[in-house]
A and B are shown apart, each in its own frame.
Chain A
Amino acid sequence: MRSVSVDLNHDASLLIDIPDALCERDKVKFTVHTKTTLSSFQKPEFSVPRQHEDFIWLHDTLVETEDYAGLIIPPAPPKPDFESPREKMHKLGEGEATMTKDEYTKMKQELEAEYLAVFKKTVQVHEVFLQRLSSHPTLSKDRNFQIFLEYDQDLSVRRKNAKEMFGGFFKNMVKSADEVLISGIKEVDDFFEQEKTFLLDYYSKIKDSTAKAEKMTRAHKNIADDYIHVSATLNSLSADDSTANKNRYLSSSVSLQKVEGRVASDQELKLTELLRYYMRDIQAAKDLLYRRARALADYENSNKALDKARLKSKDIPQAEEHQQHCLQKFDKLSESGKKELTSFKGRRVVAFRKNLIEMAELEIKHAKVSSTLQPTCVRLFVYS
């Protein structure tokens, strides 16, 4: 169970996972594997290759579907980012001449581990996205979702062409104007009023925490790297040392760097990822609020229009119909929105709990390991 989210992939009627992925230069090819008992699918079990852009297409399609306006659309997985390890690998290659062979090997191993961690993370985050969809009662039935899972040809034909992209971009632009709209709206419903206040505040706080957590993790990684260099130099120092302190220096410095490296990556995985994920999720919840506020604005506008029509005694039935339509939309949004936000709360709390527990347990585990390693090192030193 490596994901930050919980309660996913339990429903046997539709099980999705990403069992493996290939990394080709910039592109990652995910293998999406589905097992289902639903008759809506052609086969009970199948796999398709998908790229990151396919996931984005699916996400955007769902966002733009009016029927889902009252739902929290799971946040799109971020683009796989191998920039950091790749840059480091490049620097390492350049600096190879200045390092000892041992140092170079260790640095390379560290980098490979980092690369692997980024890889695992991106697979996980893409997998979670699909699992969120499959465990949602409404979204799991979406036609495009089905196509995504099943269609065994390349999806690029269906992906956004330039015009659609512009449309999406336009929608994003309008949305930010909606943020002003949201805060200005007079909320009649207590629940939504509270949610609005809470989510807006929480979002800014969690965004801040995510950034600070990332900085902390980076500093930890720097220290781990430093220990590699220190241990390498210590080793070459004791290579000349006739009193053969070599093994002692070696073992102690290795234990040091291992601990620092492990702590850094665990912290990254549990805490930072948790924060990052929920930052995006809260953004998705906010989007729901915006859509609802928009619907409310529309409804209010339609009321005004109806009044105007009544005054002018012109086009009253259209205006009435329009008003009804807006009201229905708004009510539907409010109803499903309430459900979604309530379950979101529960989901968030459970996810935090799980990850905080795991993080604490890992910190304890690593500290215990190193505190058994170190007396051994001390003993080795004493008996020189």
Chain B
Amino acid sequence: MAASSDRNPPPFPATEEPGAGPSDMADGDSDEGEDIFSNPVAVSRGVSQPDRVNEEPPDLFSEEEEASSTPAKSNGVHSDEDNDLFAEAHVELSTDKPGSSDRKELSSSSGLRPASSFTQSPAAMQPTSLEQLEEDEAKDSFDVDVAVTNPEKVGDGMNAYVAYKVSTRTSLPMFRSKAFTVRRRYSDFLGLYEKLSVKQSLLGCIIPPPPEKSVVGMTKVKVGMDDPSSVEFVERRRAALERYLQRVVSHPSLLQDPDVREFLEREELPRAVSTQALSGAGFLKMINKASDAVNKMTIKMNESDTWFEDKFQEVENEEQQLRKLHALVDSLVNHRKELCGNTAVFAKSMAMLGNSEDNTALSRALSQLAEVEDKMEQLHQEQAASDFFIFEELLADYIRLLGAMRGCFDQRMRAWQRWQEAQSTLQKKREAEAKLLWANKPDKLQQAKDEITEWEARVTQYERDFDRVGMTVRKEVLRFEKEKAKDFKSQIIKYLEAMLQSQQRLIKFWEAFLPEAKAIA
């Protein structure tokens, strides 16, 4: 990936729409995506695998670059690459040119990774009016995009931590500027989540959960960041934090929240301290404790609307299935890693055999075979990364999100409970008033009347709260389902595409080998 500051972008039939900002973001995002998923097309152009975290990915958001002040320029830079990318795809996958213009428009849609990865799919898709509609809708809703990049270890020893660069690009007036960057550490993300999850104003909303804590993972990083497992851990976390933020800003209510704005904008954040509870296990415990509380309710809810009950059941089932699938994909990843190792070892053995072989042509062919197997190993590595980062992490995200959704249902139940309790308290107060009337104690009577008024107000308030939460939950669920469908769809497409690229490179390798085999005499 060429550094954008070095390139003089050719005149790009630029997107004039206000989404110029976001379109960068989307492209930028897909940049990140390419870094992580080792975009095979980039590789086939001879670019090395950018999977070392310390390597600076093309940072389109850094304010030092002149590109930031001229969004169109950086847009051009990236689109230039994208045009190349697409040209390659043209050759291999018989894309037709009209597709590329669609691609640009699509790139200006939602800042969510799914949308940007959607743009990568070559013209297997034909432009349809349906897709136009979707883009337009998306364009209107989301005018902010975030990226999490450049993990850097700060400090040494057990007090060390990893700081990430959080870059935002936006056209919304509520932010101080159009593009800005801050440094954040993991506990800051957790702190944000904690703040959001207790807000009354966000009751009923599905607050996206951040990635789990990992003592083991972090300790390894603290000790030294060099071995492949630490590198993978940091990359995994970075990607997860990015998705977390993207989900947060794509939620209309969360975007309005001042804490979110502060997180994105403020130079220095006060250190979040009470984040101990939010380890992976802790998060689950929190959710389950809430569920238990609901189950222990003495007043059983008379569900007038079966919608909630049915949905809750659906959510539980789906979560179970996803867990199962996650475990299977994990097994797949491990087996593929094993295959990598075995292939590498085999390649070496083949090379040795080739050396021993006394027939010259056969010896050469065997050495070639060893090289092909080496290349296969690399393909397998990439495939394993794809399996993991695209597929497995998607499942992990949604398992957490479904857990959060269950939490929303519980919030609604608790709201109902509060309302019921208020009603029973009101009833008791009324009975007390009646008794006082009977006993004829005028001074206490006034107090009782006051209390009744107070509790009547409360009952009304809590009923309103309950209805509001119910409506929010409904809306959230519908929105979630739509997002999930989109997300899964685009990720699976990405996954299949990666596989497709892999297959095509495989063909090339073996086609190169074939004449060598035929030359044996």
Contact = CB atoms under 8 A, between A and B. Distances in A.
Interface in B331-374: 331-332, 335-336, 338-339, 342-343, 345-346, 349-350, 352-353, 356-359, 361-362, 365-366, 369
B325 A234 contact: yes
Interface in B470-519: 485, 488-489, 492-493, 496-497, 499-500, 503-504, 506-507, 510-511, 513-514, 517-518
A243 B93 CA distance: 29
Contacts of B488: 245
B151 to A, nearest CB: 30
A220 B496 contact: no
Given A205-B353, A216-B343, A352-B362, A240 B317 contact: yes
B119 to A, nearest CB: 12
B328 A230 contact: yes
Contact of A202 (B331, B350, B356, B511): B356
Contacts of B357: 202
Given A374-B500, A375-B500, A364 B492 contact: no
Contacts of A361: 514
Interface string A357-384: 1001101100110110011011101101
Nearest to A212: B346
A205 B352 contact: yes
B520 A374 contact: no
Given A345-B359, A353-B362, A361-B514, A219 B335 contact: yes
B318 interface: yes
A349 interface: yes
Contact of A378 (B124, B321, B504, B521): B124
A205 to B, nearest CB: 4
Interface stretch (A78-86, A87-95, A221-229): A221-229
Given A226-B331, A233-B328, A356 B496 contact: no
B66 interface: no
Contacts of B314: 240
Given A219-B339, A219-B342, A364-B507, A349 B520 contact: yes
Interface residues of A, number: 53
A376 to B, nearest CB: 8
B290 interface: no
A18 interface: no
Interface residues of B, number: 57
B342 A215 contact: yes
B93 A375 contact: yes
Contacts of A357: 514, 517-518
Nearest to B383: A223
A240 B507 contact: no
B193 to A, nearest CB: 27
B494 to A, nearest CB: 10
A131 interface: no
A215 B341 CA distance: 10
A6 to B, nearest CB: 12
Contacts of B324: 233
Nearest to B345: A212
A223 B336 contact: yes
A228 B392 CA distance: 16
B342 A226 contact: no
A229 B327 CA distance: 10
Given A205-B353, A364-B514, A229 B321 contact: no
B125 interface: yes
A377 B496 contact: yes
A198 interface: yes
A154 to B, nearest CB: 43
Contacts of B343: 216
A205 B318 CA distance: 51
Interface in A203-247: 205-206, 208-209, 212-213, 215-216, 218-220, 222-223, 226-227, 229-230, 233-234, 236-237, 240, 243, 245
B339 A209 contact: no
Interface string A177-220: 00000000000000000000010011001101100110110111
A356 B517 contact: yes
A212 B348 CA distance: 10
Given A202-B357, A212-B345, A382-B125, A223 B489 contact: no
Contact of B121 (A223, A249, A259, A378): A378
B356 A379 contact: no
Given A223-B339, A240-B317, A381-B489, A205 B331 contact: no
B517 A353 contact: yes
A5 interface: no
Contacts of A206: 353
A365 to B, nearest CB: 9
B380 to A, nearest CB: 9
A256 B325 contact: no
Contacts of A205: 349, 352-353, 356
Nearest to B511: A364
A345 B359 CA distance: 9
Interface string A34-74: 00000000000000000000000000000000000000000
Contacts of B346: 209, 212-213, 215-216
Given A240-B317, A252-B492, A356 B507 contact: no
Interface of A: 198, 201-202, 205-206, 208-209, 212-213, 215-216, 218-220, 222-223, 226-227, 229-230, 233-234, 236-237, 240, 243, 245, 249, 252, 256, 259, 345, 349, 352-353, 356-357, 360-361, 363-364, 367-368, 370-371, 374-375, 377-379, 381-382, 384
29 contacts: A201-B356, A205-B349, A208-B349, A209-B349, A209-B352, A209-B353, A222-B335, A222-B338, A222-B339, A223-B332, A223-B336, A234-B325, A237-B321, A252-B496, A349-B362, A352-B362, A353-B518, A356-B369, A356-B517, A361-B514, A364-B507, A364-B511, A364-B514, A367-B503, A374-B499, A378-B497, A379-B125, A382-B124, A382-B493
What are the 6 closest A-B residue pairs judged by CB atoms, nearest first?
A219-B339, A353-B520, A212-B346, A356-B517, A226-B332, A222-B335
Given A215-B346, A216-B342, A352-B365, 15 more contacts: A201-B356, A202-B356, A209-B352, A213-B346, A230-B332, A234-B325, A237-B318, A249-B492, A259-B503, A353-B362, A360-B514, A367-B510, A378-B124, A381-B493, A384-B485
